[in-house]
Amino acid sequence: MSLQQSLQEITSSSESQHDKIGRFKDLLGTLSSFDSLNEFATAILNEAGSLGLVVTRPVLSAFIAQVGASIVLAQERRKQLYLNLLERLQPVLASYEEQESQAREQLANVYEKQAEFLQAASTLFGIKLESGQRVISDEFRVRINVRILRNLLEDIEDATGYYDDGAAEAKDREMTTAERMVHADVIINRAAMLVAGPAASNEMKIQFKLSQARVSEVNQKYLDAAVKYFDLARLDHDQIDAESRLMCLSAAVSCTLLAPSGPARARMVASLIKDERVKDADGPMPAEHAMLQMLFYDNLLPSKTVTTYVETARRKIPRLHLRKKIDSGKEWTLDQAVTEHNLVASSKLYENISRHELAAVLNLQSADEAERYAARMIQQRRLRAVIDRVDGIIYFNLGKKDEQLRRWDDVILGVCLQVEDVVGLIQKQHPELIN
């Protein structure tokens, strides 16, 4: 008897619905080829009107599970079966939301195994998390949202060569990193309240916090990322294994290094350096210990030291942060972070320094570039210094001398204002003298 005849025989029989479901499942268990499985799903949906939802729903759920568990089907064949099913479900989606959700989860599994993370995230994003047709638990919502986040982040890492120096940038991508992160922010905001509730398991909460940290890091909110990684690194051993905690601690150190120099970063360094795992040079994290020591004491960071850290840190700094420019248009690299740190360190070593000497200390191309760094940090209140543009000298925090310079600037400003007043009076009384 052919498959079509078997299906027709079960459909037209006078058996109870329960018995029909059992026979359909038994028949399904004998199928393994792509063609036979595809024919089975098509026939069930074509006869849905006569079979009724009570029969077709559990049979389709069994079909979805069997395709996912098959050891015979190739991934591409499995993917095509799910895509075909989802296409056929669209006209009657209101009646089969549960089955569509199951198919999307299984299809996302296939995409993940094929490292097609953006497609996996897009597939999961199509799952309805609010519905009047079925009961959806908060735990399910949390799990789907966290999974979408993880796939978006994996896709960013794959698209940018996040950790490797491979040719990932040559791949065609539908979205930029910035666009992916907009989606990630939406998911985080959508899931935050659910994760804080009782429905989320400890494992889900940890995965969500890790995703939050990774999103902050990609968005270049390095101090926020450092705080989140450090919180994860301090969790109990029964919540997260020792190696994962060390990886999170290493990530916190790297994010702190990448963060803009200033009081906020100094406080983060002070918190990290107290951790027992980085206190000892002979401990499990020698590279992180050495870097924190230099950051804490505001030592200059030579290029060789930075290179050694990049190569030996327990968690490798993502390549995304080593590039000169990312596709969001922002520029923030490890080199820039190190330059700012060395500028602060120079302020501890020198009372004053010429622009050209500072450029040499900071390993910059020109004195103008060194001045731009100093001016920006002064404006942002991350560096206490005064720039004498006439003599080309930068005066760092000098106490009384600093105050004298400021008073002298005030005197010059006062003279300039008086001269401007005199010019104004001359204009009023003798306009013919003004061209």
Grade residue 94 by pLDDT with cuts at 50, 70 and 90. confident
The C-alpha atoms of residue 26 and residue 150 are separated, in whole angstroms, by 37
Angle between helices 242-258 and 286-296 (to 10 degrees): 30
pLDDT at 331 over 90: no
Grade residue 326 by pLDDT with cuts at 50, 70 and 90. very low
Grade residue 365 by pLDDT with cuts at 50, 70 and 90. confident
Q: What is the pLDDT of residue 325?
A: 47
Mean pLDDT rounded to a whole number for the chain: 85
Lowest mean pLDDT among 26-40, 119-133, 193-207, 216-230: 193-207
Structural contact between residues 226 and 161, judged by C-beta atoms closer than 8 angstroms: no
The C-alpha atoms of residue 309 and residue 375 are separated, in whole angstroms, by 29
The C-alpha atoms of residue 1 and residue 30 are separated, in whole angstroms, by 13
| 404-425 average pLDDT score | 78
| 77-104 average pLDDT score | 93
The C-alpha atoms of residue 126 and residue 120 are separated, in whole angstroms, by 10
Grade residue 158 by pLDDT with cuts at 50, 70 and 90. low
Q: What is the pLDDT of residue 399?
A: 57
| 138-158 average pLDDT score | 83
Grade residue 178 by pLDDT with cuts at 50, 70 and 90. low
The C-alpha atoms of residue 59 and residue 341 are separated, in whole angstroms, by 64
% of the chain with per-residue pLDDT over 70: 89
| 333-359 average pLDDT score | 89
pLDDT at 204 over 90: no
Residues in the chain: 435
